[in-house]
Amino acid sequence: MTRSALVALDLGQDEFRESIDELALLASSAGAEVVGVFTSKRRSPDSALFIGSGKTQEIRDYCQANDIELVIFNHGLSPAQQRNLENALDLRVIDRTGLILDIFAIRAKSHEGKLQVELAQLQYLASRLVRSRADLTGQQGGIGMRGPGETQLETDRRLIGVKVKQLKARLEKLQKQRQTQRRQRERRGQFTVAIVGYTNAGKSTLFNAIASDKAYAADQLFATLDTTTRRVYLAPRVDMALSDTVGFIRDLSHSLVEAFKATLESTVHADLLLHVVDVSSPVRHSQIAEVNKVLAEIDAAEVPQMIVWNKIDACERAVEVERGEDGKILSVAVSARYGLGLAELRAVLTELATGFYAQTRDLGVEADKPQWA
Tens-digit pLDDT profile for residues 191-221:
999 999 998 899 989 999 998 866 555 555 5
Does residue 36 contact residue 66 with C-beta atoms inside 8 Å? yes
The pLDDT score that the predictor gives to residue 146 is 43
**Cα gap 254→297, rounded to integer Å:** 9
Higher pLDDT, 223 or 184: 184
Query: Is position 111 within any domain?
Result: no
Beta strands 228-235 and 238-244, pairing class:
antiparallel
219 and 357 fall within a common domain? yes
The pLDDT score that the predictor gives to residue 138 is 44
The pLDDT score that the predictor gives to residue 297 is 87
User: Last residue of some domain: 64, 94, 124?
Assistant: 94
The pLDDT score that the predictor gives to residue 142 is 41
The pLDDT score that the predictor gives to residue 263 is 66
Going from the C-alpha of 56 to that of each of 88, 295, 337, the distances in angstroms are 7, 37, 44
Domain count, the chain: 2
Letter for the amino acid at 114?
Answer: K
pLDDT at 40 over 70: yes
- Terminal-residue alpha carbon distance, the chain: 48
86 and 196 fall within a common domain? no
Does residue 86 contact residue 93 with C-beta atoms inside 8 Å? yes
User: Last residue of some domain: 73, 94, 115?
Assistant: 94
Structural domain for 24, as ranges: 2-94
75 and 197 fall within a common domain? no
Query: Is position 75 within any domain?
Result: yes
228 and 340 fall within a common domain? yes
Does residue 193 contact residue 271 with C-beta atoms inside 8 Å? yes
What value does the CA radius of gyration of the chain take, rounded to a whole number of Å?
24
Letter for the amino acid at 174?
Answer: L
The pLDDT score that the predictor gives to residue 6 is 96
320 and 199 fall within a common domain? yes
SS3 call for 149 = coil
Query: Is position 184 within any domain?
Result: no
pLDDT at 48 over 50: yes
List strand residue ranges (DSSP E) for 42-191, in order.
Answer: 70-73, 92-94
Q: Which of 207-216, 221-230, 293-302 has the highest mean pLDDT?
A: 293-302
**Cα gap 87→111, rounded to integer Å:** 37
Tens-digit pLDDT profile for residues 137-146:
444 444 444 4
The pLDDT score that the predictor gives to residue 126 is 81
List strand residue ranges (DSSP E) for the chain, in order.
Answer: 2-10, 32-41, 70-73, 92-94, 192-197, 228-235, 238-244, 272-278, 305-310, 320-323, 329-333
Q: What is the dihedral of CA 62, 64, 70, 74, to 10 degrees?
A: 20
Query: Is position 126 within any domain?
Result: no
The pLDDT score that the predictor gives to residue 131 is 44
pLDDT at 135 over 50: no
**Cα gap 49→68, rounded to integer Å:** 19
Does residue 101 contact residue 253 with C-beta atoms inside 8 Å? no
pLDDT band for 368, please (50, 70, 90 cuts): very low
User: Last residue of some domain: 51, 77, 94?
Assistant: 94
220 and 353 fall within a common domain? yes
Question: What proportions of the chain, in percent to the nearest 5, are helix, strand and coil?
Answer: 45, 20, 35
Going from the C-alpha of 191 to that of each of 26, 197, 244, 372, the distances in angstroms are 35, 20, 15, 12
Percentage of the chain modeled with pLDDT above 90: 45
The pLDDT score that the predictor gives to residue 229 is 85
SS3 call for 254 = helix
Query: Is position 172 within any domain?
Result: no
CA atoms in the 13 A half-sphere facing the CB of 337: 13
The pLDDT score that the predictor gives to residue 268 is 85
Does residue 70 contact residue 2 with C-beta atoms inside 8 Å? yes
Query: Is position 286 within any domain?
Result: yes
Query: Is position 164 within any domain?
Result: no
Going from the C-alpha of 228 to that of each of 213, 238, 246, the distances in angstroms are 10, 20, 10
**Cα gap 225→223, rounded to integer Å:** 7
336, 331, 334, 322: which is closest to 273 by C-alpha? 331
- Cβ-based neighbours of 327, under 8 Å, separated by 6 or more: none
